[in-house]
Structure 1
Amino acid sequence: MFGNQLRTAALLGLLSGLLVLGGYYLIGNEQGLYLGLILAAISSFSSWYFSDQAALAAYRAQPFSREQAPELYDRVARLSDRAGIPMPKLFVVPTKSPNAFATGRDPEHAAIAVTEGILELLTPEELEAVLAHELTHVKNRDTLTQAVAGTIAGAITYLGQILSFGFLYGPVTRDNRQGPNPLGLLFLIVLAPLSASLIQLAISRTREYSADLGSAEITGNPLALAHALEKLEEVGHQIPMNGNPTMSPLLIVNPLSKEGLQSLFLTHPPVQERIRRLVELASQQQGTPVAA
């Protein structure tokens, strides 16, 4: 666990460094470094404090009262008690696309959102496994990590967009002359957003495997999550989930298409690999060999 936290901290540091360097190339002198530092600080603070509001608004999630879904509330309360965290607030996303996500800056300010589609698709055991997966994200504070990563990556991309729209005027160079900076242009438009996406992907994949394991530990039923992931993978791509792409790492399965170049930048591990690990874990628990 400590190794994952250290790796994640290092990756977040790289993201912040890209933002600072991007600010430098945008301006062309030391003022750009200050701009990058300010953007990194603002991005980190805003994502820390407003991460839950931003994610819930991105998917138009609505509060779920206990009167609307008493069984769901009791299930989440029971799983939260097993996980050793306060019960998060519950929200529903008005879409038939089956998915779920957790958000919030810490376990005391957390929320779990489920879509109408996932409530209709999964069995009670499968839904419980998905909820346990999201509670593990809350317990491990992955929700904050992903929000910070997504916000900083978005700021890096925004810097690239600024330069792409204004490249005819060019940034100010080191000798304070107005003119194009080919290196800065290449970095901000192509290399920085690409690097930010890859770093964000690495953070997300590590966290998803850990949350799958946490779900299995909380429920004692790894196969329930394996079956849920299989259904979500099959139906989810038939009914895409619309929303801010920077928030997609929060979801339990990637809502984007796997076709073309998008397959290179999926923020989640391959579902088949996640299922394979869960099946292997179930076999270890039962003391039986994994089927070939």
Structure 2
Amino acid sequence: MTFSKKTLVGLKADQFRHPLDLQATKSLKQLPGLDLMVRSLLGSVAEQFFHLNNIAASVLVSEKQLPQLHKLLLEACQTLDLEPPQLYVQQNPVPNAYTFAMRGKQPFIVLHTSLIDMLTPEEIQAVIAHELGHLKCEHGVYLTPLNIIVVAASLIPNWGTVVAQSLQEQLLEWLRCAEFTCDRAALLATQNPRVVMSVLMKLAGGSPTLAPQLNLDAFIEQARAYDAISKTELGELLKSAQTAQLSHPVPVLRAREIDRWASSQTYQSLLEQPQVGYNKKVASKGGWRNW
């Protein structure tokens, strides 16, 4: 790293949570039974399934195994004032990362090898910090039923009833808002908006060979052009239709949001707040969400 980062001792999730995330979470809390569904029906089975899958088909990162990745994890956790989860690397040709956490259970993050191959160390840390944002904000309560619903709808014929579809749509809307929050966590960890926007650019159109050729300034201009489409009623309608069934906002919109927040007084105030003591939460112990 080329500069000394501020350690955000005592950082609270609501200090960086996106307003849309706050609003969408408030709406979800009014839905009865979601939290009970996760804890009583899905928690034990899902937790054991993913733990077994990680142990059997992934590599657990540690001081002895891929120590540079382990260092990136510990640095991000120290900056965000968060206990380190387990970090796994899994062979997969689809660039992605995800996290899973149940209350009282060991959380973990998984990075796909194809994503690591495409990114710089700082960008990998941004991805790790994005996933840490889900843990910091305790998004797992709603991430777990969303993923179960999506999987069930694809595997069980005629399972997608009106009620399930409605719930899925509401959960997807919440998730798109939650992703903005986690991008902010990535910015707080790296403290460089260009790093976060570069990850989004590479996810949109990168590969190990193309990534070094991509122009970040041109991508930021592209994000601003996407904004201009909203100035017409038809453009706004098309954008809404495009994103309605997506789990994530489109990359250019996420880049625009992080560009704006990096210039905000809220972000600057978080970096300038008094640092009380030194965060020593660096010892590893030992909802599932895509990047």
TM-score (norm 1): 0.62
Q: CA deviation at 1:284?
A: 4.9
Deviations 1:56-82 (A, max 9, x none): 667885142422300110110121111
Change (3 A) 1:193 1:106: closer
Picking from 116, 122, 125, the partner of 2:122 is: 125
Q: Secondary structure at the match of 1:109?
A: coil
d(CA) in 1 for partners of 2:151 and 2:30? 15
CA shift at 1:54, angstroms? 4.2
The alignment partner of 1:265 has SS state of coil
Q: Deviations over 1:240-266 (max 9, x none)?
A: xxxxxxxxxxxxxxxxxxxxx986411
1:273 pairs with 2:244: no
Specify the alignment match of 1:102 in structure 2.
99
Determine if the alignment matches structure 1 residue 10 to structure 2 residue 27: yes
1:69-218 aligned at under 5 Å gives the runs 69-106=66-103, 109-151=106-148, 157=153, 161=157, 164=158, 189-218=160-189
Query: Is the counterpart of residue 64 in structure 1 residue 64 in structure 2?
Result: no
Give the unaligned 5+ runs of structure 1: 18-39, 165-187, 237-260, 288-292
Identity level (%): 24
Once residues 165 and 85 of structure 2 are traced to their aligned partners in structure 1, the CA distance between those partners, rounded to angstroms, is 34
**3-state secondary structure, aligned to 2:249:** coil
SS in structure 2 of the partner of residue 202 of structure 1: helix
RCO higher in structure (CA 8 A, sep ≥6): 2
Instruction: Say which SS state the counterpart of residue 112 (structure 1) adopts.
Output: strand
The structure that is helix-richer by fraction is 1
Alpha carbons 1:107, 1:138 under 8 Å: kept: no
The offset of 1:14, in angstroms, is 3.2
User: 2:204–2:251: 8 Å Cα contact kept in structure 1?
Assistant: yes
Equivalent residue pairs, number: 215
Contact preservation (8 Å) 2:133, 2:186: yes
How many Å separate the matches in 2 of 1:8 and 1:192? 19
Contact between 1:51 and 1:104, CA under 8 Å: does it hold in 2? no
Aligned equivalents of 2:146 and 2:186: distance in 1? 23
What one-letter code is carried by the residue in structure 2 that aligns with 1:280?
Answer: R
TM-score, with normalisation over the residues of structure 2? 0.62
Q: Which of residues 202, 206, 227 in structure 2 aligns to 1:231?
A: 202
Question: Is contact 1:153–1:200 with CA below 8 Å preserved after alignment?
Answer: no
Structure 2 unmatched ranges of 5 or more: 1-13, 208-240, 269-291
Cα RMSD (Å) = 3.5
Greater Rg, structure 1 or structure 2?
A: 1
Distance in 2 between the 1:68 and 1:58 partners? 18
Matched, 1:46 2:41: yes
Q: 1:125 to 1:158 in 2, by over 3 A?
A: closer
Deviations 1:73-116 (A, max 9, x none): 01101211111111111111211221111111248621011001
